[in-house]
Structure 1
Amino acid sequence: MGIRRATEADRPTLIRLLEEAFEADPVTRWVFPEADNRQKLSGLFFGVFADVALAEGRVDLLEDGTAMALWLQEEAGLPEEDETPARMRAVSDPDNERTELVGRLTGAVHPHDRAHEYLLMIAVSPDHQGQGLGRKLIESVLERCDRDGVPAYLEASSARSKRLYERLGFDFTGTTVDLPDGPHMWPMWREPQAH
């Protein structure tokens, strides 16, 4: 199965994948604790991530539409004020401060001392999870990172995903993102590896 770069025309597929893949995710359930709200609003919330990656980064999509990865190339140095968390709240659920807080808390621990590839999100359709599709999407970028000497970064939103990323060479940075009365997220860094 080939990987292609997604375009704006793929946006509905990207949002569907994100909704399906993250419906049971601990962080998504913390952001939208009520099932009705989650079903109604999570697509708007995830749409902001898709829009940012389509406009400022890269979205890798399996040709059959079963998995995708959102990547951003982060430069070294402190970024300008990130308006994305406020946009997540404004677009999805203005009365729900958690829609903004999750972005503010992850942004506060994001390393900025070196340029790196940032895996913003990865989504695999639930019917296709456990088949190595996410790994295939990640490895295609990590191979380039290794070749070019570029580190990579992400936040794992579950203990299960943390274990997967550890197998790919990512290391926990040592400080969790602790969502108030909610789950932990694990910031993870991967140095380029020689082959």
Structure 2
Amino acid sequence: MGVAIRRAGQDDRAAVTGLLDRVFQDDAVSGWVFPDPADRRARHGVMMGAFLDAALAEGYVDVAVDGSAAALWFSVPAGGHPADDNGPAELRQVVDPANERVETIGQILDAAHPKDRAHEHLMLIAVDGSARSQGRGTELITSVLARCDREGRAAYLEASSLRSRALYERLGFVWSGSTIDLPDGPQMWPMWRDPMPVHEA
């Protein structure tokens, strides 16, 4: 049952970028970064491609073999990655130099990200509209969470809606109790999951 999952590579870049662009085009956070719809249509895919490039280079990307879903992950060491104060500014230069919100959201998320313990960070997960409510996203996440449990490793993400927060809670994530509030924009819910005991069959 379910869909097979594989690790993505550079050959998947166009397809996965297109999936991320479609799925998040009307997301509230994307709408805050690109409030003008025409500007969003023009630049949003560039931002999704930049996120994907970072995950392919520094993390890993899992995809459903039928192309219907993808998840971008990063392995974060204790203490966090070496400080890169220019990261959000560099992203802005790549995506849209005139849009300061591209840089601002990077700074806000970096500041909120926990750095005291090693963990897997789910940066983005996308499921195509034609495959919604079929458990694709859950399968992508639980395949990594099972490894986290075996290795005694935590996981972290930022939920962008109350609906997704409820889904992540069912997978063992716990809301930190504080929201990430974008200026005059939507909220996000940082969530943490401690590894769960593995019971041998």
Normalized against structure 2, the TM-score is what?
0.94
Partner of 2:183: 180
- Give aligned pairs, total: 195
Partner of 2:61: 59
Q: Aligned partners of 1:127 and 1:89: how far apart in 2?
A: 32
Q: CA deviation at 1:78?
A: 4.2
Output the aligned Cα RMSD: 1.0
Q: CA deviation at 1:88?
A: 2.1
Any idea what SS the aligned residue of 1:123 has? strand
Determine if contact 2:80/2:118 at 8 Å carries over to the other structure: no
Q: Is residue 92 from structure 1 mapped to residue 95 from structure 2 by the alignment?
A: yes
Question: Once the two structures are superposed, what CA deviation does each residue of 1:37-71 show, in whole Å capped at 9, x if it has no partner?
Answer: 11110011111110111001110011111100001
Letter in 2 for 1:186: W
Query: CA separation of 1:63/1:85 partners in 2, compared to 1, >3 Å: closer, same or farther?
Result: same
Q: Aligned partners of 1:35 and 1:76: how far apart in 2?
A: 39
Partner of 2:194: 191
Letter in 2 for 1:122: I
Higher mean C-alpha deviation, range 67-76 or range 77-86: 77-86
List, as ranges, runs of 4+ consecutive aligned residues in structure 1 with deviation greater than 3 Å.
none
Q: Aligned partners of 1:62 and 1:160: how far apart in 2?
A: 22
Partner of 1:38: 40
Aligned pairs (5 A) from 1:18-167: 18-82=20-84, 83-167=86-170
Q: Aligned partners of 1:6 and 1:151: how far apart in 2?
A: 23
Q: Aligned partners of 1:78 and 1:181: how far apart in 2?
A: 28
Q: CA deviation at 1:80?
A: 2.4
Any idea what SS the aligned residue of 1:59 has? strand
Determine if contact 2:161/2:188 at 8 Å carries over to the other structure: yes
Question: Once the two structures are superposed, what CA deviation does each residue of 1:103-123 show, in whole Å capped at 9, x if it has no partner?
Answer: 110110111111000001111
Q: Aligned partners of 2:35 and 2:122: how far apart in 1?
A: 25
Partner of 2:171: 168
Q: Aligned partners of 2:91 and 2:33: how far apart in 1?
A: 11
Letter in 2 for 1:187: P
Q: CA deviation at 1:87?
A: 2.5
Gaps of 5+ in 1: none
Determine if contact 1:25/1:158 at 8 Å carries over to the other structure: no
**What percentage of residue pairs aligned between the two structures are identical?**
53
Question: Once the two structures are superposed, what CA deviation does each residue of 1:62-107 show, in whole Å capped at 9, x if it has no partner?
Answer: 1111100001000001432334322221111111111111111011
Any idea what SS the aligned residue of 2:51 has? helix
Any idea what SS the aligned residue of 1:64 has? coil
